[in-house]
Amino acid sequence: MQEDFDCLYCGKAKEGKESSLEHAIPQFMGGDSAPQHFHLSNVCATCNNRLGLFVDASYAKSWFLTNTFAMAARSLCTQVADPGIPLTYIGPVDIPNLEIPEEHIAESWIGPSGETVIWIRKHDERMNSYAGGNPISAKKAASVAYFFPVTNEELGFRLGWKSFQRAFAKRSARKIIGAQLVGSGDDSGADLAYLMFDEPGDVDTRNVLAIRTAIGGGFPGKIPMNLKFSQRFMCKMALAVGYGLFGGDFLLDNVALEARKGLWPNEEAGVSTIRGTDPLRMMNMPNAALLGYPGAVVVLVMNVGNKWCLTVSVDEKMPFNIELGSDALASPHVSREEGYVLMLFPYLDKAFEMTLAELLVHRLGVIPNAQLQEIDNRRQASVAFWEDLSKVTPEST
């Protein structure tokens, strides 16, 4: 039974029954496969739920990160038998003659081979900048997703179809295909139910026509963005990773106090003095790629001056830096001289630890790392896969 504890995030005393499993590395970043010391129990269920919706999702569902994760997955896809890759998010669109219920919007997404996906869903103004809207209500509320393939060729169609089905598998969405399915032999058509599509109603038929008419000319629209999407998330990561690596001593450091203040900004607490650089400022730095790895979420901890610092990047892009605390902190997981790296591959459900030194000598080709070499081989196979797939000329559907 969990003993009473002080919640890592809100700092308040909680009874043991209020404890919930917290992934210091969020699940969308591959946290399920992270080492056990990143699976925390000193987080209350209230903080876990609130921060998941308003902090984790603000970061993960920003336009920037949604598409960065999609590209990372794409670079590791090697065969049509893979479970599909995330769709690329374009944003809300205005399509002439599209019939949309009140309090709903239409979003445009693109499949791996250029398939058009239009999703009509309930709109939540609080999460106007989230790709896909409110991640909780979007799973439960009725919606409709239209899928427009770009090829009759089996492999290309299957990959786009798998990616579409993956995107809506856990949502209460009716799935409509915007093309005629033709069977083989004497069959006049393919089985919609077998391919997990729904029978179109009259409104669907009209909407398919409206979307098809608009596809050639493009969809006008505006992409709402929250330019502060990462700030609270950075503070949350500092608290969780700092505690996961350095334990209770981390909570005594002033940086932990300032990270908590940044996680729950309010006038009474004052402005947090924690130092860091957000992804929008870091993204164009010449050395940004060196802080990450292709296809991976990289959590990097190193000693800079008299401070421990945390850097997080996705697919060598969108890195952020934030301080973790005084270099007086010690950890059995972190080498003071060689640093610490946690490499996560959400698409593969894989994660492994190494030192920064081991990462650098691998990248320089001096001492290959067996685990990274396996990833490199997969990335090369992925390049060949996409080249072969592109040789198939798309046909009109």
pLDDT tens-digit map of 87-136? 999 999 999 999 999 999 999 999 999 999 999 999 999 999 999 999 98
Residue 328 lies in a domain: yes
Question: Which range among 40-44, 226-230, 342-346 shows the weakest confidence by mean pLDDT?
Answer: 226-230
- Residues 348-390 pLDDT 10s: 999 999 999 999 999 999 999 999 999 999 999 999 999 998 8
Cβ(35)–Cβ(342) below 8 Å: yes
Residues 238 and 368 in one domain: yes
Instruction: Assign 194 a pLDDT band (cuts: 50, 70, 90).
Output: confident
Nearest to 162 by CA among 181, 180, 149: 149
Residue 67 lies in a domain: no
The larger pLDDT score, comparing residue 246 to residue 182, is at 246
Identify the pLDDT of residue 6: 96
Domain boundary among the residues 215, 235, 261 is at 215
Residues 113 and 22 in one domain: no
Residues 106 and 178 in one domain: yes
Identify the pLDDT of residue 396: 43
Question: Which range among 135-139, 238-242, 319-323, 374-378 shows the weakest confidence by mean pLDDT?
Answer: 135-139
What secondary structure letter does DSSP report for 378? H
- At residue 51, what are phi and psi to the nearest 5 degrees? -75, -30
Strand, coil or helix: 214 = helix
Residues 264 and 305 in one domain: yes
User: Taking 70 as the threshold, does the pLDDT of residue 185 lie above it?
Assistant: no
Question: What is the Cα–Cα distance from 95 to 93, expressed in whole angstroms?
Answer: 6
Question: What is the Cα–Cα distance from 144 to 175, expressed in whole angstroms?
Answer: 6
Percent of the chain with pLDDT over 90: 80
Residue 237 lies in a domain: yes
Question: What is the Cα–Cα distance from 38 to 337, expressed in whole angstroms?
Answer: 22
Residues 356 and 266 in one domain: yes
Identify the pLDDT of residue 190: 63
Residues 6+ apart with CB under 8 A from 224: 91, 92, 128, 129
- How much of the chain is helix, strand and coil, in % rounded to 5? 35, 20, 40
Residues 6+ apart with CB under 8 A from 11: 260
Q: How far is CA 21 from CA 31, 43, 313, in A?
A: 12, 7, 24
Domain boundary among the residues 215, 236, 266 is at 215
What domain range is 30 assigned to? Answer: 5-58+227-379
Identify the pLDDT of residue 216: 81
The structural domain count of the chain equals 2
Residue 397 lies in a domain: no
Residues 35 and 118 in one domain: no
User: Taking 80 as the threshold, does the pLDDT of residue 183 lie above it?
Assistant: no
Residues 199 and 99 in one domain: yes
Identify the pLDDT of residue 285: 73
Q: How many CA atoms lie within 13 A of 335 on its CB side?
A: 12
What secondary structure letter does DSSP report for 199? P
Residue 68 lies in a domain: no
Residue 281 lies in a domain: yes
Residues 94 and 39 in one domain: no
Residue 106 lies in a domain: yes
Residues 139 and 237 in one domain: no
Looking only at the bridges linking them, the beta strands covering 143-148 and 104-110 are unpaired
Strand, coil or helix: 5 = strand
Residue 395 lies in a domain: no
Q: How many CA atoms lie within 13 A of 24 on its CB side?
A: 24
Instruction: Assign 192 a pLDDT band (cuts: 50, 70, 90).
Output: confident
Domain boundary among the residues 215, 245, 261 is at 215
What secondary structure letter does DSSP report for 393? P
Identify the pLDDT of residue 392: 66
Share the mean pLDDT of the chain.
Answer: 92
User: Taking 60 as the threshold, does the pLDDT of residue 235 lie above it?
Assistant: yes
User: Taking 90 as the threshold, does the pLDDT of residue 295 lie above it?
Assistant: yes
Residues 351 and 374 in one domain: yes
User: Taking 80 as the threshold, does the pLDDT of residue 33 lie above it?
Assistant: yes
Instruction: Assign 151 a pLDDT band (cuts: 50, 70, 90).
Output: confident
Cβ(108)–Cβ(91) below 8 Å: yes
User: Taking 70 as the threshold, does the pLDDT of residue 395 lie above it?
Assistant: no
Residues 284 and 365 in one domain: yes
Identify the pLDDT of residue 342: 98
Burial class (CB in 10 A: 0-12, 13-18, 19+), 240: buried
Residues 22 and 126 in one domain: no
Cβ(245)–Cβ(255) below 8 Å: no
